[in-house]
Every structure is written in structure tokens, then in C-alpha cells.
Structure 1
Amino acid sequence: MEVKPPLPPFTLETAKAEVQAAEDAWNTRNPEKVSLAYTKDSTWRNRSEFFSGRDQIREFLTRKWNTELDYRLRKELWSFTGNRISVKFEYEYHTDSGQWYRAYGNEQWEFAPNGLMQRREASINDVPIQEADRKFRWER
């Protein structure tokens, strides 16, 4: 059986660690690596899309990061209890036409006993920004 610490039930310390690990993984923009944090039958709602399973998660993330270029994400713990964590986040990206966006959102996560996420629900809004207004920059 796959196990990915920290395991539920979460404490403040382990919930923060889980959020930081998710932020770090998503910022790699590596669909294969990111998909391994989810159960094989994980169910997702991302904006208006509904899907399940690691294959569909990888396909979604591949499509996402092929269109959301130079993606950079920040997550913050909002609340937690038992095997659930709520996160608020914002990220920036640009399209191939050069238009920059900042996306704001909330996620609700539910974890299996082995520490893998079995359910993810995300509500996200995109706001066009000027490149000069970016908040998240990093060394390449």
C-alpha cells in the first residue's frame, strides 16, 4: 500500500507541512510527480471540470501547464480537521500570446488514511494583470 506522510488526522504542524508540500510539488509543473500525491481513484472538481483517477489528473495537469506558461503558485492553509484541509491560493501564469493572469482560489482536500489525497475540489477565478504587476517571480 502506498503511504505518503503526513497522515491524517492532521495537526496544525502537519496540515501546514501538507500545504507546503503541495505548493512545492505543483511549482515543479511535473504532472507525473504531482499525480503521485493522489489516490489511484482520486476524484476532482477543478473549476467546471470533473474527473477521476491518476491518468485523468496527469492529462489535466499536462494540458494546464502547456497553456499556463511560467506558472508560479502560493498556497496558504485556511483550516483543517481530521482528514480534511482547506487551502486558499493564488498563482500567476501567462498565455502563449503573452497575457499575464493571477488566479485566486480555494481548495478543499480530503485524504485517505495512507496520506494520499482522495478528493480535491477547486474554485478558481482568473484576473488579467500586466507583467509589471506580477507578485511571484523566481530565478530560472
Structure 2
Amino acid sequence: MESKPPLPPFTLETAKTKVQMAEDAWNTRNPEKVSLAYTVDSVWRNRSEFFTGRDKIREFLVRKWHKELDYRLKKELWSFTDDRISVKFEYEWHDDSGQWYRSYGNEQWEFAENGLMKRREASINDLPILESERKFRWDRQS
């Protein structure tokens, strides 16, 4: 059986670890790698999109990172219970015209016993910014 430690029930330390692992994975911008953190029947809401399943997650991420170029994300633990974690986040990206954005949001996560995420709900707002207003800089090889 697949497993993705740390496993629920979460402590403050393991919840923070889970959030950092998610941030690190999403910053790879690798849809295959990121999708493996979710159950095969994971239920998602991302903005106004609703879908179910790891294959749909992978398809979504491919579309996302095809549009949101040079994506860089920071997540912060907001709260947690035994099998749920809530995070706030912000990320920066630009479109193919060079317009930069900072996106702000909140996610609610619910985990299966094996540590894979079985439910994710994300609310996100985008703010156009100037490139000079960027907060997150990184090596483009990351």
C-alpha cells in the first residue's frame, strides 16, 4: 500500500513537516511528482474547478504550470487536527506576456490513514504586480 509519511494523527511538528513537503514538491513544478501525494480518488476544488482522481490532478497541474510560468510558492501552516491541515499561501508567477502576479489563498487538506491527501479545497485570488514588486526570487534551474 502507498504511504506518504508523516501520517495522521498530526502533531504540530508533523503538520509543519507535511506543509513544508507540499511546498517543496509544488516548487518542483513536476506534475507527476506532485500528483503522487494524493490518493487515486482524491477530491479537489481549485478556485472554480472541481475534479476527482490523481489523473485529473496531474492534468490540472500540467495546465497550471503551462500558464503560470516561473511559479514560486510559500506555504504556512494555519491550523491542524488529527487528519486535517489548513494552510495559507502565496505564490508568484507570470503569464506568457510577461505580466507578473502574486496569488494568495487558503487550502484545506484531509488525509487518509496512509498520509496521502484525499481531499483538497483551495480558494485563490490573483493580484497583478510589477516584476520589481516580486518577493520570491530563485534560481530558475529549480
With normalisation by structure 2, the TM-score equals 0.98
The residue aligned with 2:12 is: 12
The residue aligned with 1:122 is: 122
Structure 1 residue 5 displacement after superposition: 0.3
Deviations 1:13-58 (A, max 9, x none): 0000000000000000000000000000000000000001011000
Amino acid in structure 2 at the alignment position of 1:129: I
Amino acid in structure 2 at the alignment position of 1:16: K
Cα distance in 1 for residues equivalent to 2:57 and 2:17: 22
Segments of structure 2 that go 5 or more residues without pairing to the other structure are none
The residue aligned with 2:91 is: 91
SS of 1:33's equivalent in the other structure is helix
What is the number of equivalent residue pairs in this alignment? Answer: 140
Please state if 1:40 is matched with 2:45. Answer: no
Q: Which stretches of structure 1, 4 residues or more, deviate above 3 A after TM superposition?
A: none
CA RMSD of aligned residues (A): 0.4
Structure 1 residue 139 displacement after superposition: 1.7
Amino acid in structure 2 at the alignment position of 1:65: W
The 5-angstrom pairing of residues 15-26 of structure 1 reads 15-26=15-26
SS of 1:139's equivalent in the other structure is coil
With normalisation by structure 1, the TM-score equals 0.99
The residue aligned with 2:51 is: 51
Segments of structure 1 that go 5 or more residues without pairing to the other structure are none
Amino acid in structure 2 at the alignment position of 1:106: N
